[in-house]
């Protein structure tokens, strides 16, 4: 019989509906995902992507409703705003470098951001995707906190945007080194800006491996492209 209050079931519900449940599950899955990533050193094993998959699998297997998880999950999501705001701190840390190459950096990020949004727009129309998916796709190249903000403003689905942004980042860290070779881009500034503009923080970890200038430029491009994409989305 459904809903029978047998003791084990009540205990299960007590634990699962506690705000700490969502927090603990998130921390444990992220911890485990990072541990696996560290062992295998495979760029496809992004810790965020893995943690999301583990959480979903656990919720499904134990038939825990999403609302129960989100009681604690909402507490974690509260940190999204502050986590975005502190990007200012990392932009400011690179301020001297940004000032020195201001014009090429802004031009490159602008060209990249326009290309990203325009090509996503055209391709979504071409493949006949609906408006909410299109809005979720438009901010795909920028860093997750900014992308979520844009997606919400445009009427997209934030969780779909999160998934697309992570997949884009992973694709970038795999494809960018190949693209650099094929198109013979030897200029470190151009390489760093291109990586940061098309694949945000996940790609930046790859750029850091390529060199110090590449890493710093990629980091700058995350902030500059993020800001430019927000401004561009206002025009839509």
Partner 1 sequence: MKLLKQLGIIFGICLVGEGIAAILPISFPASVISMFLMLLLLIAGILKMEHVKEAAEYLIQNMAFFFIPAGVAIMEKYDLVKGKILVLFVICVITLVLTFLAAAFTVKGVIRLQEKLRAKRGIQE
Task: Name residues contacting partner 1, limited to 11-30 (CB under 8 A).
Answer: 22, 26-27, 29-30
The owner of tokens 């506690």 is 18
Question: Residue 218, interface with partner 1 (CB under 8 A)?
Answer: no
**Total of residues contacting partner 1 (CB under 8 A):** 105
Q: Would you say 132 and 5 are in contact if contact means Cβ atoms under 8 Å apart? A: no
Residue-wise DSSP of 135-196: HHHTTTTS-HHHHHHHHHHHT--HHHHHHHHHHHHHHHHHHHHHHHHHTT---HHHHHHHHH
| 198 counts as binding partner 1 under rule CB under 8 A | yes
Tokens of 20: 């700490």
Hey, which residues between 62 and 81 contact partner 1 (CB under 8 A)?
Answer: 66, 69-70, 72-74, 76-77, 79-81
Segment 40 to 59, residues that bind partner 1, using CB under 8 A: 47-49, 51-52, 55-56, 59
- Of 16, 68, 135, 150, the residue at the interface with partner 1 (CB under 8 A) is 150
Q: How far is the CB of 48 from partner 1 (least distance, A)?
A: 4
Q: How far is the CB of 11 from partner 1 (least distance, A)?
A: 23
Residue 65 zone, left/alpha/beta (φ > 0; ψ -120 to 50; rest): beta
Nearer residue to partner 1 within complex by CB, 20 or 90: 90
């Amino acid at each position: 019989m459904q809903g029978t209050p047998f003791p084990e079931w009540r205990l299960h519900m007590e634990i699962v509906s506690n705000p700490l449940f969502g927090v603990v599950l998130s921390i444990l899955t992220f911890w485990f995902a990072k541990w696996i990533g560290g062992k295998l050193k495979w760029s496809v094993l992004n810790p965020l992507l893995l943690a999301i998959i583990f959480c979903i699998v656990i919720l499904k297997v134990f038939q825990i409703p999403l609302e129960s998880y989100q009681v604690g999950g909402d507490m974690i999501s509260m940190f999204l705003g502050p986590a975005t705001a502190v990007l200012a701190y990392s932009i400011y840390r690179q301020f001297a470098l940004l000032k020195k190459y201001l014009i090429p950096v802004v031009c490159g990020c602008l060209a990249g951001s326009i290309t990203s949004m325009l090509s996503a727009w055209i391709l979504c129309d071409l493949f006949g995707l609906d408006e909410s998916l299109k809005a979720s796709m438009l901010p795909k190249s920028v860093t997750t906190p900014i992308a979520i903000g844009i997606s919400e403003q445009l009427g997209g689905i934030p969780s779909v945007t999160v998934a697309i942004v992570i997949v884009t980042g992973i694709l970038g860290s795999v494809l960018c080194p190949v693209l650099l070779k094929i198109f013979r881009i030897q200029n470190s500034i151009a390489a760093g800006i291109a990586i940061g503009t098309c694949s945000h923080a996940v790609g930046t970890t790859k750029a850091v491996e390529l060199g110090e200038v590449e890493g710093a430029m990629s980091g700058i491009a995350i902030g500059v492209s993020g800001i430019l994409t927000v401004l561009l989305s206002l025009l839509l």
